[in-house]
């Protein structure tokens, strides 16, 4: 039920590696406002306070607070989590470290496997065993578990992960072990694998529950600090966290199932892209987000975001798998704060190391001693040093020039301009890999998609990245620097469930799979019914993981409910063949197939902020939109050229701009390369035809 004492605002905050962004929707006045501030990693709540002040809003007036943060993913990647123990079925102590024996680079003599979050000395074997069907093979030795708990207490263990074989079939042993551990270690963060995933594959399950325990204490403390902060500000509304699948769930769930918020900010950006696609009638688009630390890409395909049942966190070669539903996002360590450096042989590298928000790029004037992508853009004239963030931050050109000369240009014997251009070109190429990761590697042609670009640094590089990939159309939404926070305003309540179900499609009982689907759907309805906010409607969608008989890995296939009403095996098989063909370039319509897992998504649809169409004013720009031209370098060969500068908030629907040009706004700058053509569409988006102005 809705909280009748709460206000009329919906506030969304996304904390990134460099900046904290806020988007607020006034449901009474139908107005959206934004705030932005440097992230304060020593005390993240301070960044939230700054954005609230900058946007001129108050939590006293808020009905909903929606939040996404990088704290979970950063804790995992930076290895700053809790001292964690893993309790695992006897005889399987090392499956977490052995993993899948992946060898992505077969001839690399220096290859190194993933580093487990839980060292071997902190992995303990539990005397018990279930069979694959969930029946008990060996009863749980509770006395032994109590002895293990005493040892964990004596060691001062902060978090405990529990992974018992086949608990996805029968969680009884895990539940009892958790009960014993919590009684003995009341202050520890304790998590069991069946609470996070009810899907087979024990290594992935072990990795998921270990990660949840490892990041749990820090995430739980952080979310608790925000709750205390909100109470202090008389917030009477409801606090939701954004999941990695783009959906919302109560913060009480987020404090327990922390791995579900690993990619919360990037997922919200994809949800925002879906909203833009819906209003423009676009069925396919790439969502590209470049912030201060990383660049990320996702895909809208046939009007829906592409999702994945699991993700590899930390890159394929040394990755830790997380087996929870996530937006299918590919990430590279290239952002505005990415550090440029020379490596062996004087080769120029950009990222993945980042200057972050403290000290930040050299031009921030906070003591940064390394050149970054932002410094390069400043030295090429693409950023205005006097009006960065609407004039809130003054950029130090001299500091940027000094570090560029000392660290890159001088050692290479080239000019500062050449060094800066080299950095942005390398960055564009690196970021194109993120787009390829969610298109080409998924059997999709990147050049056939439009690209929606956001993040504070994204529009600076959009045209260059599009040219790398053969993309012909780029869209820059309003307030791209706040877009992930803005996307949260379009998120819905969402719960995902999965049940492993190994059945031959040709002989499976539809009554059995219908019962499994309905059980999951009822769980989702019950979860949404407990929500403090009543959604407008509930939508349920079904999918299945399938493979050909004899295959090891499966693909997820979206299935219409009508297929099950008709018990139409042929339609399920045809849908699977089509997905397999798209993903791998081949299919086998005459070969039998297996059902591996059944999936259900239960979404509680929330009302969305409206997007009003603007009145068309024609191609001619108002005189207020044009600023004094500035010398800008688009290529070191052509040098600096006089370039018109436009104020975005003075542009009107129908306006046309031929490149080269810069379009400046509060938290971002859009570059039009020579030969690009920009048209402002009816919703205020910058619709760029890459090379279309020839």
Render pLDDT for 160-174 as a digit per residue (tens, 0 to 9).
999 999 999 999 999
Reported pTM: 0.88
Write down the pLDDT at residue 2.
Answer: 44
Mean pLDDT of the chain: 90
Give the confidence band of 316 by pLDDT, cuts at 50, 70, 90.
low
> For position 607, what pLDDT does the model report?
87
The pLDDT tens digits for 533-585 are 889 999 999 999 999 999 988 999 999 988 988 999 999 999 999 999 988 88
Structure tokens at 401: 């020039």
Q: Which pLDDT band, with edges at 50, 70 and 90, does 104 fall under?
A: low
Helix (H, G, I), strand (E, B) or coil at 669: strand
Mean pLDDT of 515-525: 95
Tell me how crowded residue 523 is: count the other CB atoms within 10 A of its CB. Answer: 14
Residue 656, helix vs strand vs coil: strand
Please, are residues 603 and 629 in contact by the beta-carbon 8 Å criterion? no
Per DSSP, 8 falls in state: S
pLDDT of 103 above 80: no
Residue that is written with structure tokens 């019950």 in the block: 526
In angstroms, rounded to a whole number, what is the distance separating the alpha carbons of residues 469 and 487? 25
DSSP 3-state of 320: strand
Is the pLDDT at 684 greater than 50, yes or no?
yes
Residue indicated by tokens 């490149």: 659
- DSSP 8-state code for residue 388: B
Task: Give the pLDDT confidence score for residue 534 in this predicted structure.
Answer: 87
Residue 50 pLDDT: 81
CA-nearest of 356, 314, 320 to 338 is 356
Prior bond of 386 cis (ω within 30°): no
**Residue 37 in tokens:** 């501030």
Structural contact between residues 517 and 602, judged by C-beta atoms closer than 8 angstroms: no
Q: Give per-residue burial for 255-265: e unless 16+ CB within 10 Å, then b.
A: bbbbbbbbbbb
Q: Report the Cα 633 to chain-centroid distance in Å.
A: 33
Q: Give the orientation angle of helix 172-184 with respect to helix 142-155, to 10 degrees.
A: 40
Asked if 475 contacts 174 with a C-beta cutoff of 8 angstroms, the reply is: no
Q: Determine what percent of the chain falls in helix, strand and coil, rounding each to the nearest 5.
A: 35, 30, 35
Mean pLDDT of all residues in 211-216: 96
Mean pLDDT throughout 434-442? Answer: 87
Rounded-to-integer distance, Cα 382 and Cα 464, Å: 13
Residue 477's pLDDT is 94
Mean pLDDT calculated for residue range 495-521: 93
User: DSSP states of 527-580 as a string?
Assistant: HHHT-SS--SEEEEEEEEEEEETT-S--EEEEE-HHHHHTT-HHHHHHHHHHHH
**Nearest in space to 508 (alpha carbons), one of 560, 471, 466, 563:** 563
Among residues 416, 343, 415, the alpha carbon closest in space to that of 375 is found at 416
Give me the pLDDT at residue 1, please.
39
SS3 of 593-607: EEEEEEEEEEEEECC
Residues in the chain, total: 694
Q: Coil, strand, or helix at residue 50?
A: helix
- Pick from 39-43, 113-117, 192-196, 347-351: least confident: 39-43
What pLDDT is recorded for position 618? 78
**Which residue bears the tokens 């499956």?**
95
Beta carbons of 546 and 559 less than 8 angstroms apart: no
Task: Report how far apart, in Å, the C-alpha atoms of 602 and of each of 66, 245, 492 are.
Answer: 19, 12, 10
Q: What's 654's DSSP letter?
A: T
- Residue 597 near residue 199 (C-beta atoms within 8 A): yes
The residues, any chain, with a CB within 8 Å of residue 640's CB and separated by 6 or more, are 381, 417, 631, 632, 633
Helix residue spans in 185-263 (DSSP H): 193-196, 202-232, 251-254
- pLDDT of 6 > 70? The answer is no
The set of residues, in sequence order, having a beta carbon less than 8 Å from that of 433 and lying 6+ positions away, is 330, 332
Contact 434, 290 (CB under 8 A): no
pLDDT, residue 4, reads 45
110 versus 603: which is more confidently predicted? 603
- Find all residues with CB under 8 Å of 15, minimum gap 6, and list them: 39, 44, 47, 48, 67, 68, 69, 70, 71, 265
Distances (CA, A) of 164 to 14, 70, 171, 176, 648: 36, 30, 9, 11, 57
> pLDDT band at residue 660, thresholds of 50, 70 and 90?
very high
CA-wise closest residue to 140 among 182, 166, 173: 173
pLDDT bin (cut points 50, 70, 90) of residue 41 is low
Between CA 606 and CA 493 the distance in angstroms is 7
Range 253-260 average pLDDT: 94
R_g of the chain computed on alpha carbons:
26
Alpha helices in 56-133 (DSSP H): 71-78, 95-98
């Amino acid at each position: 039920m809705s909280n009748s004492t709460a206000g009329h605002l919906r506030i969304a905050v996304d904390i990134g590696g460099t900046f904290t962004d806020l988007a607020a929707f006034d449901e009474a006045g139908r107005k959206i406002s934004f705030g932005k501030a440097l992230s304060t990693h020593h005390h993240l709540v301070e960044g939230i306070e700054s954005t609230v002040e900058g946007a001129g809003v108050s939590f006293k007036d808020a009905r909903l607070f929606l939040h996404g943060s990088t704290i979970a993913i950063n804790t995992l990647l930076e290895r700053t989590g809790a001292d964690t123990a893993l309790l695992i079925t006897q005889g399987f102590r090392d499956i977490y470290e052995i993993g899948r024996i992946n060898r992505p680079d077969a001839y690399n003599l220096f290859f190194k496997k993933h580093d487990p979050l839980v060292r071997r000395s902190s992995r303990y074997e539990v005397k018990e065993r279930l069979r694959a069907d969930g029946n008990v093979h060996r009863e749980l030795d509770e006395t032994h578990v109590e002895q293990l708990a005493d040892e964990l207490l004596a060691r001062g263990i902060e978090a405990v992960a529990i992974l018992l074989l086949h608990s996805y079939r029968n969680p009884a042993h895990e539940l009892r072990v958790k009960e014993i551990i919590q009684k003995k270690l009341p202050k520890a963060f304790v998590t069991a694998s069946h609470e996070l995933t009810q899907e087979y594959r024990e290594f992935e399950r072990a990795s998921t529950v270990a990660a949840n325990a490892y990041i749990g204490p820090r995430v739980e403390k952080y979310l608790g600090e925000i709750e205390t902060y909100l109470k202090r500000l008389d917030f009477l509304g409801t606090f939701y966290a954004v999941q990695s699948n783009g959906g919302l769930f109560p913060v009480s769930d987020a404090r327990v199932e922390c791995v579900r918020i690993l990619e919360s900010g990037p997922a919200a950006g994809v949800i925002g892209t879906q909203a833009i696609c819906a209003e423009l009638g676009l069925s396919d688009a790439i969502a590209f987000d470049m912030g201060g630390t990383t660049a990320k890409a996702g895909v809208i395909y046939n009007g829906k975001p592409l999702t994945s049942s699991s993700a590899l966190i930390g890159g394929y070669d040394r990755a830790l798998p997380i087996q929870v539903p996530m937006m299918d996002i590919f990430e590279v360590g290239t952002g505005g704060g990415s550090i440029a450096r020379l490596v062996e042989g004087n080769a120029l590298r950009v990222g993945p190391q980042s200057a972050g928000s403290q000290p930040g790029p050299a031009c921030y004037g906070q003591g940064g001693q390394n050149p970054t992508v932002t410094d390069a853009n400043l030295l090429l004239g693409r950023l205005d040093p006097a009006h960065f963030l609407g004039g809130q931050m003054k950029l130090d050109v001299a500091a940027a020039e000094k570090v560029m000369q000392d660290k890159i240009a001088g050692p290479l014997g080239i000019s500062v301009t050449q060094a800066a251009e080299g950095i942005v070109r390398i960055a564009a190429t690196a970021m194109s890999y993120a787009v390829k990761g969610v298109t080409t590697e998924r059997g999709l042609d990147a050049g056939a998609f439009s690209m929606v670009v956001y993040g504070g640094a994204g529009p600076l590089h959009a045209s260059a990245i599009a040219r790398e990939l053969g993309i012909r159309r780029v869209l820059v939404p309003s307030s791209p620097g706040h877009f992930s926070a803005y996307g949260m305003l379009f998120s819905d309540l969402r719960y995902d469930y999965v049940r492993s179900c190994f059945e031959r499609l040709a002989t499976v009982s539809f009554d059995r799979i219908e019962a499994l689907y309905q059980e999951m759907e009822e769980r989702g309805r019950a979860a949404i019914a407990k929500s403090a906010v009543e959604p407008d409607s509930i939508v349920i969608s079904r999918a299945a993981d399938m493979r050909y008989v004899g295959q090891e890995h499966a693909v997820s296939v979206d299935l219409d409910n009508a297929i099950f009403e008709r018990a139409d095996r042929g339609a399920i098989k045809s849908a699977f063949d089509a997905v397999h063909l798209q993903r791998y370039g081949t299919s086998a319509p005459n070969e039998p197939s297996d059902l591996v897992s059944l999936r259900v998504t239960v979404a509680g649809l929330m009302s969305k902020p409206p997007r009003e169409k603007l009145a068309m004013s024609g191609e001619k720009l108002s005189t207020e939109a044009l600023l004094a031209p500035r010398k800008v370098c688009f290529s070191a060969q052509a040098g600096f050229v006089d370039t018109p500068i436009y104020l975005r908030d003075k542009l009107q629907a129908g306006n046309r701009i031929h490149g080269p040009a810069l379009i400046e706004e509060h938290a971002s700058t859009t570059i039009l390369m020579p030969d690009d053509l920009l048209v402002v569409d009816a919703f205020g988006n910058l619709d760029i035809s890459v090379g279309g102005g020839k």
